[in-house]
A = this chain, B = another copy of it.
Amino acid sequence: MLGNAIVGQSGGPTAVINASLAGVFKAAKDHKIQKVYGMRNGIEGLLQEKYIDLSDYVKTSLEIELLKRTPASFLGTCRYKLPAPSSAPQTYEKIFGIFKKLDIKYFFYIGGNDSMDTIMKLSEYADAVGSDIRFIGVPKTIDNDLAVTDHTPGYGSAAKYIATAMKEIICDAKTYSTDSVTIVEIMGRNAGWLTAAASLSCCEDCSGPDLIYLPERVFDRDSFVDKILELKKTNKVVIVAVSEGVTTKDGKYVCEANKKNVITDSFGHKLLGGTAMYLSDYLTDCTGIKSRGIVFSTLQRCASHMVSRRDITEAFMAGADAVVAAARGETGKMIIFRRISNEPYSMVTDSCDIHLIANKEKTIPQEWITADGTYITDEFNEYARPLIIGELSPFMVDGLPRHLFIDD
Protein backbone atom coordinates (compact mmCIF):
# COMPACT_ATOMS: atom_id res chain seq x y z
CA MET A 1 0.00 0.00 0.00
CA LEU A 2 1.06 3.55 -0.62
CA GLY A 3 2.26 5.82 2.17
CA ASN A 4 3.31 5.32 5.73
CA ALA A 5 1.59 4.92 9.07
CA ILE A 6 2.12 6.59 12.42
CA VAL A 7 0.97 5.26 15.76
CA GLY A 8 0.83 6.82 19.21
CA GLN A 9 -0.08 5.87 22.76
CA SER A 10 -1.93 8.22 25.06
CA GLY A 11 -3.28 8.37 28.61
CA GLY A 12 -2.48 6.02 31.47
CA PRO A 13 -0.43 2.92 30.76
CA THR A 14 -1.85 -0.59 30.84
CA ALA A 15 -0.23 -4.01 30.94
CA VAL A 16 -1.32 -4.70 27.34
CA ILE A 17 -1.17 -1.35 25.54
CA ASN A 18 2.01 -2.52 23.86
CA ALA A 19 0.22 -5.60 22.56
CA SER A 20 -2.02 -3.20 20.62
CA LEU A 21 1.08 -1.41 19.37
CA ALA A 22 2.47 -4.78 18.29
CA GLY A 23 -0.85 -5.50 16.54
CA VAL A 24 -0.73 -2.23 14.61
CA PHE A 25 2.90 -2.81 13.65
CA LYS A 26 2.44 -6.43 12.59
CA ALA A 27 -0.72 -5.75 10.56
CA ALA A 28 0.81 -2.68 8.93
CA LYS A 29 3.76 -4.76 7.83
CA ASP A 30 1.43 -7.51 6.62
CA HIS A 31 -0.47 -4.87 4.61
CA LYS A 32 2.79 -3.71 3.04
CA ILE A 33 2.58 -0.28 4.62
CA GLN A 34 6.14 0.86 4.11
CA LYS A 35 7.10 2.61 7.31
CA VAL A 36 5.44 2.56 10.70
CA TYR A 37 6.45 5.57 12.74
CA GLY A 38 5.86 5.75 16.48
CA MET A 39 5.12 9.10 18.12
CA ARG A 40 7.12 9.59 21.30
CA ASN A 41 4.69 10.67 24.03
CA GLY A 42 1.67 10.75 21.79
CA ILE A 43 0.42 13.81 19.97
CA GLU A 44 2.30 16.05 22.38
CA GLY A 45 5.62 14.54 21.31
CA LEU A 46 4.62 14.59 17.67
CA LEU A 47 4.11 18.35 17.90
CA GLN A 48 7.77 18.50 18.94
CA GLU A 49 8.60 16.22 15.99
CA LYS A 50 9.57 13.38 18.31
CA TYR A 51 9.04 10.05 16.62
CA ILE A 52 10.87 6.86 15.78
CA ASP A 53 10.78 4.32 12.99
CA LEU A 54 9.40 1.26 14.79
CA SER A 55 11.36 -1.07 12.52
CA ASP A 56 14.52 0.15 14.20
CA TYR A 57 13.29 -1.31 17.49
CA VAL A 58 11.11 -4.24 16.47
CA LYS A 59 13.14 -6.32 14.05
CA THR A 60 12.20 -9.89 14.83
CA SER A 61 9.22 -12.01 15.81
CA LEU A 62 10.90 -12.41 19.19
CA GLU A 63 10.85 -8.64 19.63
CA ILE A 64 7.16 -8.52 18.73
CA GLU A 65 6.53 -11.06 21.50
CA LEU A 66 8.74 -9.06 23.86
CA LEU A 67 6.83 -5.87 23.03
CA LYS A 68 3.56 -7.65 23.91
CA ARG A 69 5.07 -8.50 27.32
CA THR A 70 6.35 -4.98 28.04
CA PRO A 71 4.26 -2.91 30.48
CA ALA A 72 3.34 0.76 30.25
CA SER A 73 3.61 2.67 26.98
CA PHE A 74 6.63 1.60 24.95
CA LEU A 75 6.49 4.84 22.95
CA GLY A 76 5.81 7.01 25.98
CA THR A 77 2.50 8.66 26.62
CA CYS A 78 0.89 12.06 27.18
CA ARG A 79 -2.18 13.64 28.67
CA TYR A 80 -2.61 16.32 26.06
CA LYS A 81 -5.90 17.76 24.86
CA LEU A 82 -5.75 19.16 21.33
CA PRO A 83 -7.25 22.64 21.11
CA ALA A 84 -10.24 23.12 18.80
CA PRO A 85 -9.13 23.60 15.16
CA SER A 86 -10.87 27.00 15.07
CA SER A 87 -8.91 28.33 18.04
CA ALA A 88 -5.50 26.96 17.04
CA PRO A 89 -5.27 26.34 13.29
CA GLN A 90 -1.47 26.55 13.47
CA THR A 91 -1.38 23.40 15.67
CA TYR A 92 -3.23 21.43 13.00
CA GLU A 93 -1.16 22.90 10.18
CA LYS A 94 1.94 21.82 12.04
CA ILE A 95 0.66 18.27 12.60
CA PHE A 96 -0.48 17.86 9.01
CA GLY A 97 2.82 19.36 7.84
CA ILE A 98 4.62 16.60 9.70
CA PHE A 99 2.26 14.04 8.14
CA LYS A 100 3.14 15.37 4.71
CA LYS A 101 6.85 15.28 5.42
CA LEU A 102 6.62 11.67 6.60
CA ASP A 103 4.15 10.68 3.87
CA ILE A 104 1.62 9.52 6.47
CA LYS A 105 -1.60 7.97 5.14
CA TYR A 106 -2.68 6.14 8.31
CA PHE A 107 -2.86 7.47 11.85
CA PHE A 108 -3.51 5.15 14.81
CA TYR A 109 -3.98 6.29 18.37
CA ILE A 110 -4.16 3.83 21.25
CA GLY A 111 -5.98 5.36 24.18
CA GLY A 112 -9.08 5.95 26.28
CA ASN A 113 -12.01 8.36 26.07
CA ASP A 114 -9.86 11.48 26.36
CA SER A 115 -7.44 10.22 23.74
CA MET A 116 -10.30 9.51 21.32
CA ASP A 117 -10.93 13.25 21.39
CA THR A 118 -7.66 13.49 19.42
CA ILE A 119 -8.91 11.04 16.76
CA MET A 120 -12.18 12.94 16.55
CA LYS A 121 -10.58 16.35 16.09
CA LEU A 122 -7.90 15.21 13.65
CA SER A 123 -10.38 13.29 11.50
CA GLU A 124 -12.74 16.27 11.46
CA TYR A 125 -9.91 18.56 10.45
CA ALA A 126 -8.79 16.12 7.73
CA ASP A 127 -12.33 16.08 6.42
CA ALA A 128 -12.49 19.88 6.43
CA VAL A 129 -9.22 20.31 4.55
CA GLY A 130 -9.80 17.40 2.16
CA SER A 131 -6.96 15.23 3.49
CA ASP A 132 -7.17 11.51 2.71
CA ILE A 133 -5.32 10.44 5.83
CA ARG A 134 -7.28 7.88 7.82
CA PHE A 135 -7.60 8.18 11.58
CA ILE A 136 -8.50 5.14 13.62
CA GLY A 137 -8.59 4.80 17.39
CA VAL A 138 -7.54 1.66 19.26
CA PRO A 139 -9.31 1.28 22.61
CA LYS A 140 -7.18 1.09 25.73
CA THR A 141 -7.94 1.64 29.36
CA ILE A 142 -7.81 -0.37 32.54
CA ASP A 143 -10.87 1.63 33.61
CA ASN A 144 -13.14 -0.16 31.10
CA ASP A 145 -15.17 3.05 30.83
CA LEU A 146 -15.28 3.49 27.03
CA ALA A 147 -18.72 3.81 25.51
CA VAL A 148 -20.18 1.38 22.93
CA THR A 149 -17.47 -1.30 23.19
CA ASP A 150 -18.30 -4.37 25.33
CA HIS A 151 -15.03 -3.90 27.19
CA THR A 152 -11.60 -2.40 26.65
CA PRO A 153 -8.17 -3.95 26.22
CA GLY A 154 -6.28 -3.49 29.48
CA TYR A 155 -9.27 -4.13 31.69
CA GLY A 156 -9.05 -7.93 31.72
CA SER A 157 -5.43 -7.91 32.84
CA ALA A 158 -5.99 -5.24 35.49
CA ALA A 159 -9.01 -7.22 36.72
CA LYS A 160 -6.93 -10.42 36.83
CA TYR A 161 -4.17 -8.65 38.76
CA ILE A 162 -6.68 -7.16 41.21
CA ALA A 163 -8.43 -10.49 41.78
CA THR A 164 -5.11 -12.32 42.21
CA ALA A 165 -3.74 -9.72 44.61
CA MET A 166 -7.02 -9.71 46.55
CA LYS A 167 -6.80 -13.49 46.98
CA GLU A 168 -3.27 -13.18 48.31
CA ILE A 169 -4.14 -10.26 50.60
CA ILE A 170 -7.12 -12.17 51.99
CA CYS A 171 -4.86 -15.19 52.69
CA ASP A 172 -2.49 -12.83 54.45
CA ALA A 173 -5.19 -11.09 56.50
CA LYS A 174 -6.80 -14.34 57.63
CA THR A 175 -3.53 -15.85 58.77
CA TYR A 176 -3.67 -13.90 62.03
CA SER A 177 -5.97 -14.80 64.87
CA THR A 178 -6.51 -11.14 65.68
CA ASP A 179 -9.46 -9.02 64.58
CA SER A 180 -8.75 -6.69 61.69
CA VAL A 181 -10.24 -4.69 58.85
CA THR A 182 -8.33 -4.39 55.58
CA ILE A 183 -9.40 -1.63 53.20
CA VAL A 184 -8.03 -1.98 49.68
CA GLU A 185 -8.09 1.08 47.44
CA ILE A 186 -8.54 0.41 43.73
CA MET A 187 -8.31 2.73 40.73
CA GLY A 188 -11.28 4.12 38.84
CA ARG A 189 -12.28 7.76 38.96
CA ASN A 190 -15.98 7.61 38.08
CA ALA A 191 -16.45 4.02 36.97
CA GLY A 192 -16.27 1.09 39.36
CA TRP A 193 -15.26 -1.64 36.90
CA LEU A 194 -11.85 -2.17 38.46
CA THR A 195 -13.06 -2.11 42.05
CA ALA A 196 -15.86 -4.51 41.14
CA ALA A 197 -13.18 -6.89 39.83
CA ALA A 198 -12.13 -7.47 43.43
CA SER A 199 -15.26 -9.64 43.63
CA LEU A 200 -13.72 -12.09 41.15
CA SER A 201 -11.43 -13.23 43.98
CA CYS A 202 -14.49 -14.93 45.45
CA CYS A 203 -14.25 -18.53 44.30
CA GLU A 204 -14.01 -22.06 45.72
CA ASP A 205 -10.89 -21.31 47.77
CA CYS A 206 -11.53 -17.68 48.75
CA SER A 207 -14.43 -15.78 50.30
CA GLY A 208 -13.53 -12.58 48.46
CA PRO A 209 -14.05 -9.09 49.86
CA ASP A 210 -16.94 -8.55 52.27
CA LEU A 211 -17.83 -5.10 51.02
CA ILE A 212 -17.33 -3.34 47.70
CA TYR A 213 -17.84 0.40 47.36
CA LEU A 214 -18.11 1.82 43.86
CA PRO A 215 -18.18 5.43 42.66
CA GLU A 216 -21.55 4.73 41.01
CA ARG A 217 -23.19 5.07 44.42
CA VAL A 218 -22.95 7.93 46.92
CA PHE A 219 -20.65 7.00 49.78
CA ASP A 220 -21.66 7.61 53.36
CA ARG A 221 -18.98 7.30 56.01
CA ASP A 222 -21.35 6.51 58.85
CA SER A 223 -23.18 3.78 56.94
CA PHE A 224 -19.74 2.39 56.12
CA VAL A 225 -18.78 2.26 59.80
CA ASP A 226 -22.16 0.72 60.72
CA LYS A 227 -21.74 -1.94 58.06
CA ILE A 228 -18.29 -2.86 59.38
CA LEU A 229 -19.58 -3.05 62.94
CA GLU A 230 -22.39 -5.34 61.80
CA LEU A 231 -19.95 -7.64 59.97
CA LYS A 232 -17.55 -7.68 62.92
CA LYS A 233 -20.20 -9.45 64.98
CA THR A 234 -19.54 -12.63 62.99
CA ASN A 235 -16.27 -12.07 61.09
CA LYS A 236 -12.88 -11.66 62.76
CA VAL A 237 -11.47 -10.35 59.53
CA VAL A 238 -13.30 -7.91 57.28
CA ILE A 239 -12.03 -7.10 53.79
CA VAL A 240 -13.23 -4.01 51.95
CA ALA A 241 -12.59 -3.01 48.34
CA VAL A 242 -13.13 0.68 47.76
CA SER A 243 -12.77 2.77 44.65
CA GLU A 244 -10.40 5.74 44.88
CA GLY A 245 -13.24 7.70 43.30
CA VAL A 246 -16.02 7.27 45.87
CA THR A 247 -17.75 10.54 46.64
CA THR A 248 -19.97 11.76 49.46
CA LYS A 249 -23.38 13.32 48.86
CA ASP A 250 -21.86 16.81 48.64
CA GLY A 251 -20.11 15.58 45.47
CA LYS A 252 -16.63 15.60 47.02
CA TYR A 253 -14.21 12.71 46.70
CA VAL A 254 -13.74 10.98 50.06
CA CYS A 255 -9.99 11.26 49.62
CA GLU A 256 -10.22 15.06 49.37
CA ALA A 257 -11.09 15.17 53.07
CA ASN A 258 -7.49 15.01 54.25
CA LYS A 259 -5.60 16.63 51.42
CA LYS A 260 -3.97 20.00 51.41
CA ASN A 261 -4.23 20.54 47.66
CA VAL A 262 -5.99 18.53 45.01
CA ILE A 263 -4.09 18.59 41.72
CA THR A 264 -5.92 18.33 38.38
CA ASP A 265 -4.59 17.09 35.05
CA SER A 266 -4.90 18.74 31.64
CA PHE A 267 -8.33 17.20 31.11
CA GLY A 268 -9.51 18.73 34.40
CA HIS A 269 -9.59 15.41 36.26
CA LYS A 270 -8.61 15.53 39.91
CA LEU A 271 -5.70 13.29 40.87
CA LEU A 272 -7.03 10.93 43.48
CA GLY A 273 -5.55 8.66 46.14
CA GLY A 274 -5.63 8.32 49.91
CA THR A 275 -9.17 6.97 50.22
CA ALA A 276 -8.16 3.74 51.97
CA MET A 277 -5.86 5.48 54.45
CA TYR A 278 -8.49 8.08 55.21
CA LEU A 279 -11.22 5.46 55.78
CA SER A 280 -8.88 3.25 57.79
CA ASP A 281 -8.04 6.14 60.13
CA TYR A 282 -11.68 7.21 60.29
CA LEU A 283 -12.82 3.70 61.20
CA THR A 284 -10.18 3.30 63.90
CA ASP A 285 -10.95 6.73 65.32
CA CYS A 286 -14.69 5.96 65.48
CA THR A 287 -14.55 2.38 66.73
CA GLY A 288 -11.04 1.50 67.92
CA ILE A 289 -11.02 -1.44 65.50
CA LYS A 290 -7.58 -2.27 64.11
CA SER A 291 -7.58 -1.36 60.45
CA ARG A 292 -5.10 -1.02 57.62
CA GLY A 293 -5.25 0.56 54.21
CA ILE A 294 -3.65 -1.02 51.16
CA VAL A 295 -3.30 0.83 47.85
CA PHE A 296 -2.78 -1.23 44.70
CA SER A 297 -1.30 1.85 43.11
CA THR A 298 0.32 1.75 39.67
CA LEU A 299 0.94 -2.01 39.74
CA GLN A 300 -2.71 -2.66 38.86
CA ARG A 301 -2.13 -1.00 35.50
CA CYS A 302 1.41 -2.14 34.72
CA ALA A 303 1.73 -5.65 36.14
CA SER A 304 2.70 -7.30 32.88
CA HIS A 305 3.87 -10.32 34.88
CA MET A 306 0.22 -11.25 35.51
CA VAL A 307 -1.80 -10.58 32.37
CA SER A 308 -4.91 -12.20 30.99
CA ARG A 309 -4.07 -14.07 27.82
CA ARG A 310 -7.52 -13.28 26.46
CA ASP A 311 -6.92 -9.58 27.12
CA ILE A 312 -3.51 -9.49 25.51
CA THR A 313 -4.80 -11.41 22.48
CA GLU A 314 -7.71 -9.01 22.12
CA ALA A 315 -5.43 -5.98 22.58
CA PHE A 316 -3.26 -7.24 19.73
CA MET A 317 -6.35 -7.91 17.63
CA ALA A 318 -7.71 -4.39 18.26
CA GLY A 319 -4.45 -2.91 16.97
CA ALA A 320 -4.38 -5.17 13.94
CA ASP A 321 -8.05 -4.54 13.13
CA ALA A 322 -7.46 -0.78 13.24
CA VAL A 323 -5.05 -1.28 10.34
CA VAL A 324 -7.59 -3.42 8.51
CA ALA A 325 -10.29 -0.76 8.99
CA ALA A 326 -7.97 2.00 7.74
CA ALA A 327 -6.95 -0.14 4.80
CA ARG A 328 -10.55 -0.53 3.72
CA GLY A 329 -10.94 3.24 3.83
CA GLU A 330 -12.48 3.94 7.20
CA THR A 331 -11.61 7.02 9.24
CA GLY A 332 -12.89 8.79 12.35
CA LYS A 333 -13.61 5.42 13.94
CA MET A 334 -12.56 3.36 16.92
CA ILE A 335 -12.32 -0.41 17.01
CA ILE A 336 -14.91 -1.88 19.36
CA PHE A 337 -15.67 -5.31 20.78
CA ARG A 338 -19.06 -6.95 20.50
CA ARG A 339 -19.69 -9.97 22.70
CA ILE A 340 -21.57 -12.79 21.05
CA SER A 341 -21.81 -15.06 24.09
CA ASN A 342 -20.39 -15.63 27.56
CA GLU A 343 -20.43 -19.42 27.62
CA PRO A 344 -18.55 -20.26 25.49
CA TYR A 345 -16.99 -16.82 25.32
CA SER A 346 -17.19 -15.38 21.84
CA MET A 347 -16.34 -11.87 20.72
CA VAL A 348 -16.03 -10.03 17.40
CA THR A 349 -14.51 -6.67 16.58
CA ASP A 350 -16.21 -3.89 14.70
CA SER A 351 -15.58 -0.19 14.15
CA CYS A 352 -17.68 2.66 15.49
CA ASP A 353 -18.04 6.38 14.80
CA ILE A 354 -15.62 8.18 17.14
CA HIS A 355 -18.27 10.80 18.04
CA LEU A 356 -20.16 8.14 19.98
CA ILE A 357 -17.08 7.42 22.11
CA ALA A 358 -14.82 10.45 22.55
CA ASN A 359 -15.13 12.18 25.93
CA LYS A 360 -17.91 9.80 27.03
CA GLU A 361 -17.78 7.54 30.04
CA LYS A 362 -19.47 4.18 30.67
CA THR A 363 -20.15 3.28 34.28
CA ILE A 364 -21.46 0.07 35.83
CA PRO A 365 -25.22 -0.37 35.32
CA GLN A 366 -27.02 0.54 38.55
CA GLU A 367 -28.88 -2.79 38.45
CA TRP A 368 -25.55 -4.62 38.73
CA ILE A 369 -25.02 -3.08 42.17
CA THR A 370 -26.83 -4.49 45.21
CA ALA A 371 -29.62 -2.43 46.74
CA ASP A 372 -27.55 -1.26 49.71
CA GLY A 373 -24.64 -0.35 47.41
CA THR A 374 -22.09 -2.56 49.15
CA TYR A 375 -21.61 -5.36 46.60
CA ILE A 376 -22.16 -6.24 42.97
CA THR A 377 -24.51 -8.82 41.49
CA ASP A 378 -23.94 -12.03 39.52
CA GLU A 379 -24.41 -10.17 36.23
CA PHE A 380 -21.06 -8.48 36.79
CA ASN A 381 -19.41 -11.80 37.51
CA GLU A 382 -20.79 -13.32 34.30
CA TYR A 383 -19.60 -10.29 32.37
CA ALA A 384 -16.11 -9.99 33.83
CA ARG A 385 -14.94 -13.53 34.52
CA PRO A 386 -14.37 -14.51 30.88
CA LEU A 387 -12.04 -11.51 30.53
CA ILE A 388 -9.41 -12.78 32.99
CA ILE A 389 -8.99 -16.22 31.49
CA GLY A 390 -5.63 -17.57 30.39
CA GLU A 391 -2.04 -16.59 31.05
CA LEU A 392 0.87 -15.36 28.99
CA SER A 393 4.19 -16.10 30.67
CA PRO A 394 6.72 -13.29 30.79
CA PHE A 395 10.09 -13.98 29.16
CA MET A 396 12.15 -14.54 32.29
CA VAL A 397 15.83 -13.62 32.13
CA ASP A 398 18.01 -14.09 35.21
CA GLY A 399 14.91 -14.38 37.35
CA LEU A 400 13.11 -11.25 36.10
CA PRO A 401 10.64 -10.47 33.30
CA ARG A 402 12.41 -8.99 30.29
CA HIS A 403 10.99 -5.90 28.56
CA LEU A 404 11.62 -4.10 25.29
CA PHE A 405 12.79 -0.51 25.67
CA ILE A 406 13.93 2.55 23.78
CA ASP A 407 17.40 3.60 24.83
CA ASP A 408 17.51 7.36 24.81
A201, B400: Cβ atoms closer than 8 Å: yes
Instruction: Indicate the size class of the contact surface on chain A.
Output: 35 or more
Q: Mark A297-308, 1 if CB is under 8 A from B, else 0.
A: 111011111101
Q: Judge whether A24 is part of the interface by a CB distance below 8 angstroms.
A: no
Q: Which label, helix, strand, loop or mixed, suits the secondary structure of the A interface?
A: mixed
User: How many copies, total?
Assistant: 2
Question: When A294-B297, A400-B203, A403-B205 are in contact, do A175 and B45 touch as well, CB less than 8 Å?
Answer: no
Contact of A72 among B171, B204, B292, B401 (CB under 8 A): B171
A305, B308: Cβ atoms closer than 8 Å: no
Least CB distance, A196 to chain B, in whole angstroms: 15
A171, B308: Cβ atoms closer than 8 Å: no
> Which of chain B's residues have a CB closer than 8 A to the CB of A273?
292
Q: Mark A176-191, 1 if CB is under 8 A from B, else 0.
A: 1100000000000000
Q: Judge whether A388 is part of the interface by a CB distance below 8 angstroms.
A: yes
A71, B160: Cβ atoms closer than 8 Å: no
Give the complex CA separation of A174 and B302 in angstroms: 12
Interface centre among A70, A292, A308, A398 (most CB of B within 10 A): A398
Q: Judge whether A391 is part of the interface by a CB distance below 8 angstroms.
A: yes
A396, B391: Cβ atoms closer than 8 Å: yes
> Which of chain B's residues have a CB closer than 8 A to the CB of A175?
13, 72-73, 76-77
Least CB distance, A241 to chain B, in whole angstroms: 14
Give the complex CA separation of A201 and B397 in angstroms: 11
Q: Judge whether A330 is part of the interface by a CB distance below 8 angstroms.
A: no
Q: Judge whether A164 is part of the interface by a CB distance below 8 angstroms.
A: yes
Give the complex CA separation of A303 and B165 in angstroms: 7
A398, B203: Cβ atoms closer than 8 Å: yes
A70, B171: Cβ atoms closer than 8 Å: yes
Question: When A71-B168, A201-B400, A390-B399 are in contact, do A177 and B76 touch as well, CB less than 8 Å?
Answer: yes
> Which of chain B's residues have a CB closer than 8 A to the CB of A302?
168-169, 171-172
Within A64-118, the residues touching B (CB, 8 Å) are 70-73, 76-79
Give the complex CA separation of A168 and B205 in angstroms: 29
> Which of chain B's residues have a CB closer than 8 A to the CB of A299?
165, 168-169, 299
A385, B398: Cβ atoms closer than 8 Å: yes
Question: When A41-B177, A295-B297 are in contact, do A400 and B164 touch as well, CB less than 8 Å?
Answer: yes
Within A359-393, the residues touching B (CB, 8 Å) are 385, 388-391, 393
B398, A71: Cβ atoms closer than 8 Å: no
Least CB distance, A299 to chain B, in whole angstroms: 6
Give the complex CA separation of A205 and B57 in angstroms: 13
Within A120-150, the residues touching B (CB, 8 Å) are none
Give the complex CA separation of A152 and B299 in angstroms: 26
> Which of chain B's residues have a CB closer than 8 A to the CB of A262?
none
Least CB distance, A167 to chain B, in whole angstroms: 6
Give the complex CA separation of A44 and B176 in angstroms: 11
Question: Apart from A44-B177, A71-B171, A277-B277, what 10 extra A-B contacts exist at CB < 8 Å?
Answer: A73-B175, A79-B176, A168-B305, A169-B298, A169-B299, A171-B302, A203-B400, A204-B402, A206-B403, A305-B305
Provide a sorted-by-A list of 21 A–B residue pairs whose CB atoms are within 8 angstroms.
A70-B171, A73-B175, A76-B175, A78-B176, A167-B403, A168-B298, A168-B302, A168-B305, A169-B298, A169-B302, A171-B405, A172-B298, A172-B301, A203-B400, A204-B402, A205-B405, A206-B405, A273-B292, A277-B277, A294-B297, A391-B396
The 6 lowest CB-CB distance pairs between A and B, nearest first, are A388-B399, A72-B171, A72-B175, A172-B302, A41-B177, A73-B175
